[in-house]
Amino acid sequence: MDYSEYRRFDAVGLAELVAKREVSPAELLETAIARAEQVNGRLNAIVHRMYDIARKRAATELSGPFAGVPFLLKDLKQDYEGVRTGAGSRALRDHVATRHSAVVQRWLDAGLVVFGRTATPEFGTKGITESAATGATRNPWNLNHTPGGSSGGSAAAVAAGIVPVAGASDGGGSIRIPAACCGLFGLKPSRGLVPSGPEHGEYLHGAATDGVVSRTVRDTAAMLDVLVRRPDPGGPYLPAVPETSYAESARRAPGALRIGFTTDSPLGTPVHDEAVAAVQHAATLLDKLGHEVEPAKPEVDGVQLARDFMTMWCAETAATIAEIKRTTGASDEDFELDNRLLAAAARAVRAPEYATARNRWNTHTRALAAFHERYDLLLTPTIAGPPVRIGELETPPLLRYAGEALLKSRLTGLLVKTKAWNDQVLANLAPVPFTQLANLTGRPAMSVPLYRTAGGLPLGAQFVGGLGSEPTLLALASQLEAEQPWADAEPAL
């Protein structure tokens, strides 16, 4: 199979070809590897090759709904036994997984052939994919721009045609942000739906979840079926899975929905005209399809939510760094400065303050639930502007110097109590202010690729659903995909 034919099919389509014996898993794998070797030098999407492992697997008898389909894992928590999991960090350059993660095992049970791991920023803490360990990953639509993060490597690989779907995860927007930047479909599932075991009961108190980025809605729906159709016996929840499959939900008409939309940043920060236009375009399309669309937004204190999110984010970063130092002997210099500052900020927060911030998640969740009593879905920009240029969000040299000095003097505890620190926290979230709401509330949300900027860059629109609304989101996404197809668009690499 040559690349032009391979690119015509999504993962469901490739699996059908294998099932009919019109193509072999080995042939698909070699086509995917050839495409990776052709474009990865320009993209830096795949940071660890697993070609030998994949070739051995492709030569075996495979079964499952995705038998023989090439696949990539995100290099963060999606562990593959015997293979390095680097998490974008120099501190984990020699870390080898001792067993498969639950999601990886389910992907393997579905017959997928994993042949590599994709780039992520260190510990997935940024909305771009640039790390000291693996370098910058680039957007296939314009190599000067970011593919987003933290699943930027996976999104770049899918957009570039290496695979039709790839592993991703989302703790603050990390499925939806790169989907928005790369012209892909990205769905963040509900809290507790996808297993996080065996190393974790849940990630980030349930704010984070695994999933995929894909070119087609039906691939994401079928992948969700693979991940959730049976419960995790060691997990903290028994997820409420609908009677019909997610794949079937994606084939159904959504009916007439009531959708509230806003383009206001919950932080009160600027939103680019292109991001506003992306939402307006989506609203016009929804109106044409018979949905009731009107301006509306939940009564959520966006600034407080951002602070509560960062309190958790800093604490998790501190715990991650401490555990890696304990188990590997890594030194402070093995971690990036920005993450060391987040960890230092966490150590200045007292336990009662952390508990108070965590308990406020309930306030945010109930405010969003009140919105969903009136509207089926919330429509917003996925990100506040077009994908930024590579290096645009690097910490300036003067601030890096000041940060190093503060860490050495151990004065970061005083710094994080200041207005300047809080202003900087909000400024760091300003490019991606819309996605954390779904994470803290545990609600499903998706980015749909309906818009292109004047410069030709993708820019997604986000839909946030109520509790357990994945079937509605998938049905609507399929309707939008049929009305304005996007899967055949291909960057000129």
CA distance 16 to 37: 26
Active-site hit among 101, 174, 190, 196: 174
pLDDT at 46: 98
Where residue 404 falls among pLDDT bands split at 50, 70, 90?
A: confident
pLDDT over threshold 70, residue 420: no
For residue 16, with 0-12 CB atoms within 10 Å meaning exposed, 13-18 middle and 19 or more buried, which class applies? middle
Q: What is the pLDDT of residues 317-337, one digit of tens each?
A: 999 999 999 999 999 999 999
Q: Which of 101, 150, 196, 478 is labelled catalytic? A: 150
Distance between CA atoms of residues 446 and 378, nearest Å: 11
Amino acid (1-letter code) at residue 216: T
Catalytic residue among 74, 77, 126, 188: 74
* 150 catalytic per annotation: yes
Residue type, 209: T
In angstroms, rounded to a whole number, what is the distance separating the alpha carbons of residues 128 and 151? 8
Told to judge if 174 belongs to the known catalytic residues of this protein, a careful annotator would answer yes
Q: Respond yes or no: is residue 74 known to be catalytic.
A: yes
Q: Is residue 210 very low, low, confident or very high in pLDDT (cuts 50, 70, 90)? A: very high
- Cβ atoms of 260 and 375 within 8 Å: the answer is yes
Give Cα separations from 123 to 170, 338, 492 (angstroms). 12, 11, 31
Name every residue whose Cβ is closer than 8 Å to that of residue 44 and which is 6 or more positions away in sequence: 119, 134, 135, 136, 137, 138, 153, 156
pTM above 0.95, yes or no: yes
pLDDT of residue 398: 77
pLDDT computed for residue 115 by the predictor: 98
Q: Which of 213-217, 360-364, 410-414, 469-473 shows the lowest per-residue confidence on average (mean pLDDT)?
A: 410-414
488's CB contacts (< 8 A; 6+ apart) are none
Q: Is the pLDDT of residue 492 over 80?
A: yes
